Amino acid sequence: MFVNLGWQGMGQGWTQGSQLKGARGRHMQDRERKTGGFVLEVTQLPLAEALKVEGEADPQRTVECELEGVGLAHVSVLFQIRGSRARALPDRALVNCQYSSATFSTGERKRRPHGDRKSCEMGLQLRQTFEAAILTQLHPRSQIDIYVQVLQADGGTYAACVNAATLAVLDAGIPMRDFVCACSAGFVDGTALADLSHVEEAAGGPQLALALLPASGQIALLEMDARLHEDHLERVLEAAAQAARDVHTLLDRVVRQHVRE
Amino acid sequence: MAAGFKTVEPLEYYRRFLKENCRPDGRELGEFRTTTVNIGSISTADGSALVKLGNTTVICGVKAEFAAPSTDAPDKGYVVPNVDLPPLCSSRFRSGPPGEEAQVASQFIADVIENSQIIQKEDLCISPGKLVWVLYCDLICLDYDGNILDACTFALLAALKNVQLPEVTINEETALAEVNLKKKSYLNIRTHPVATSFAVFDDTLLIVDPTGEEEHLATGTLTIVMDEEGKLCCLHKPGGSGLTGAKLQDCMSRAVTRHKEVKKLMDEVIKSMKPK
């Protein structure tokens, strides 16, 4: 897996990956607003042959990478202290997530990009995941908005959104307990499979979505549908957890590299 | 100190730069930001393109579907554009139904498609009176830093050049359409409309390709859509400060140069894609 990461304004990294991860945002240090994000794509192609970086020597350090891509997501995080105090909580920040998938992201054209049940459910799941990870006590009476835009869906959209949003939140400078790394897993023919593609998901076997806080090994969110025998649960969970930890190593490395730059 | 001055008196800050005939990001008054384009990255869409004008990022995805043609134009297909400015791209947009700016942009793109005849609608016909193609062109802005119309037009053009439609035959016995996914052909793009946007400062100065801040400080905007042979497809000047005829001519000549630049970039990208 490969991850390339960049900031808007300070630098940009663009790649397309076969795994659905992406986050972007701006570094606007406003008195009232702080936004941040990452442009990040993860691909499953081997790094050496997949990556072709074209750097442009201009003040904004635009780096562009072209890859054969299958999945793409965009996340932006907005952190605001603004007017309406009606919904503000007195002791912690409110986390608001919105999930939207582009009409051209799936094989069949989607009629309603947002506001439908699946998007709302996804938004809610993301919110629950991030409420567990963000240190909301440090920002009372404010709201953190996380917007996720899926450009291409090839399975594992929840996982990709979580990974991308983690980076976006980090880029915005919002304190978190730990990275939140997610991965999906399934069970086919006695084998536990990590990171299902769309075809594998459509096959109808049991699927598990796992969001993990890697350092402590705590599970932020675990969701499973379809029937699975309890004997197999351990294996599937382990497969997902291992994949999530791999993602964590990758994200960690990229973040450190970027901070150093 | 400069940052403080910029926050307190943004217009004065800009005027200082404009007096020296340059802009805060180092560009000349007639210079465009670095344009990058990436074609065909979204495999679920029939055609896709990503365009970046500096920080402004727009992605266009085209999906083709079947439709029945209308009775007064039985051999014409449809091209349906839609521009989406989600809260993701800028904090000025709220979630909910499309705001004014998104609707204006959608209408602008629809006008460009109609006026420039970028695709002959008859090319989209499969079986007159029964079946035609409808191309849904969805443009999503991923980062808003001014000059959205130029980026959208370019993204649309690039995406349409990338669209491959499968061959469809109507089976006479069953009257059903049979799609042959193995045989795909590119669309016949007849013209290449390219948009050039200007912002008017202090009623006199014209700058090309305004960023978000510049648009905010500008007293007026102007967008010119030019075709290959110097043919004007669309001129969009939504109010704002007045312009003399001479200034308009200057803008048009700049638009012609811009068209050449963009065409060159497009050809390079298409050429690099062909072997795939």
Q: What is the pLDDT of residues B121-145, one digit of tens each?
A: 888 888 888 889 999 999 999 889 9
Q: Does residue A181 contact residue A248 with C-beta atoms inside 8 Å? A: yes
**Residue A33 maps to a domain:** no
Q: What integer pLDDT is reported at residue A65 of this predicted model?
A: 26
A33 touches chain B (CB under 8 A): yes
Mean pLDDT for A17-45 is: 33
| Residue A12: pLDDT over 60 | no
Query: Which amino acid appears at position A156 of this protein?
Result: G
**Residue A138 maps to a domain:** yes
Mean pLDDT for B8-15 is: 85
Q: How confident is the model at residue B59 (pLDDT cuts 50, 70, 90)?
A: very high
Percent of chain A whose pLDDT exceeds 90: 11
Q: How confident is the model at residue A37 (pLDDT cuts 50, 70, 90)?
A: very low
Which is nearest to B55 in space by CA: B214, B190, B181, B245?
A: B214
Q: How far apart are CA A104 and CA A72, in angstroms?
A: 12
| Residue B63: pLDDT over 70 | yes
A98 touches chain B (CB under 8 A): yes
Under an 8 A CB cutoff, do A107 and B143 touch? no
Q: How far apart are CA B207 and CA B199, in angstroms?
A: 5
**Residue A114 maps to a domain:** yes
Q: What is the pLDDT of residues B209-254, one digit of tens each?
A: 999 888 888 888 999 999 888 888 889 988 888 888 888 888 888 8
Q: What range does the domain containing A55 cover?
A: 49-259
The phi, psi pair for A149, rounded to 5°, reads -125, 120
Q: Which residues of A touch B137 (CB under 8 A)?
A: none
**Residue A94 maps to a domain:** yes
Tokens of B182: 């193995």
- DSSP H or E segment with residue B265: helix B245-273
Q: What integer pLDDT is reported at residue B128 of this predicted model?
A: 85
Q: How far apart are CA A246 and CA A49, in angstroms?
A: 21
Mean pLDDT for A24-39 is: 35
B59 touches chain A (CB under 8 A): yes
CATH topology of domain B24-271: Ribosomal Protein S5; domain 2 (3.30.230)
Q: Does residue B166 contact residue B184 with C-beta atoms inside 8 Å? A: yes
**Beta-strand runs (E) in chain A:** 2-6, 12-14, 28-29, 33-36, 39-43, 53-55, 62-65, 72-80, 94-101, 143-152, 181-188, 191-194, 207-213, 218-225
Taking CA–CA distances from B46, the nearest residue in chain A reads A104
Q: Which of A16, A41, A151 to mutate to test the interface with B (most CBs of B within 10 A)?
A: A151
**Residue A101 maps to a domain:** yes
Q: How confident is the model at residue A142 (pLDDT cuts 50, 70, 90)?
A: confident
Q: What integer pLDDT is reported at residue B75 of this predicted model?
A: 87
Q: How confident is the model at residue A230 (pLDDT cuts 50, 70, 90)?
A: confident
pTM: 0.80
Q: What integer pLDDT is reported at residue A32 of this predicted model?
A: 32
Least confident of A50-54, A149-153, B102-106, B205-209: A50-54
Q: What is the pLDDT of residues A17-28, one digit of tens each?
A: 222 233 333 333
Q: Does residue A126 contact residue A96 with C-beta atoms inside 8 Å? A: no
More confident call, A8 vs A135: A135
Q: What integer pLDDT is reported at residue A85 of this predicted model?
A: 53
State the ipTM, two decimals.
Answer: 0.83
Under an 8 A CB cutoff, do B34 and A98 touch? no
Q: How far apart are CA A25 and CA B90, in angstroms?
A: 9
Query: Which amino acid appears at position B215 of this protein?
Result: E
Under an 8 A CB cutoff, do B88 and A104 touch? no
Q: Which residues of A touch B48 (CB under 8 A)?
A: 104
Q: What is the pLDDT of residues B67-98, one digit of tens each?
A: 888 888 888 899 999 999 988 888 888 888 88
Q: What integer pLDDT is reported at residue A75 of this predicted model?
A: 58
Tokens of A43: 């691909």
Give every CB contact of residue B10 below 8 A, 6+ residues apart in sequence: B213, B217
Domain map (residue ranges) of chain B: 24-271
Tokens of A107: 């094989």
Mean of per-residue pLDDT scores for chain B: 87
Instruction: Count up the domains in chain A and report the number.
Output: 1
**Residue A162 maps to a domain:** yes
**Residue A19 maps to a domain:** no
B120 touches chain A (CB under 8 A): no
Q: How far apart are CA B224 and CA A196, in angstroms?
A: 47
Q: How far apart are CA A110 and CA A115, in angstroms?
A: 12
Q: How far apart are CA B45 and CA A108, in angstroms?
A: 9
Task: Indicate the residue of A24, A33, A151 with minimum beta-carbon distance to B42.
Answer: A151
Q: What integer pLDDT is reported at residue A132 of this predicted model?
A: 87
Task: Indicate the residue of B38, B54, B91 with minimum beta-carbon distance to A35.
Answer: B91
Taking CA–CA distances from A101, the nearest residue in chain B reads B140
Query: Which amino acid appears at position A147 of this protein?
Result: Y
| Residue B154: pLDDT over 90 | yes
Check which CATH number belongs to the domain holding A209 and give it: 3.30.230.70
Q: Which residues of B touch A165 (CB under 8 A)?
A: none
Q: What integer pLDDT is reported at residue A73 of this predicted model?
A: 55
**Residue A231 maps to a domain:** yes
Taking CA–CA distances from A72, the nearest residue in chain B reads B42
Interstrand relation of B56-67 and B47-53 (parallel, antiparallel or unpaired): antiparallel
Q: What is the largest CA-CA distance in chain B?
A: 79
Q: How confident is the model at residue B168 (pLDDT cuts 50, 70, 90)?
A: confident
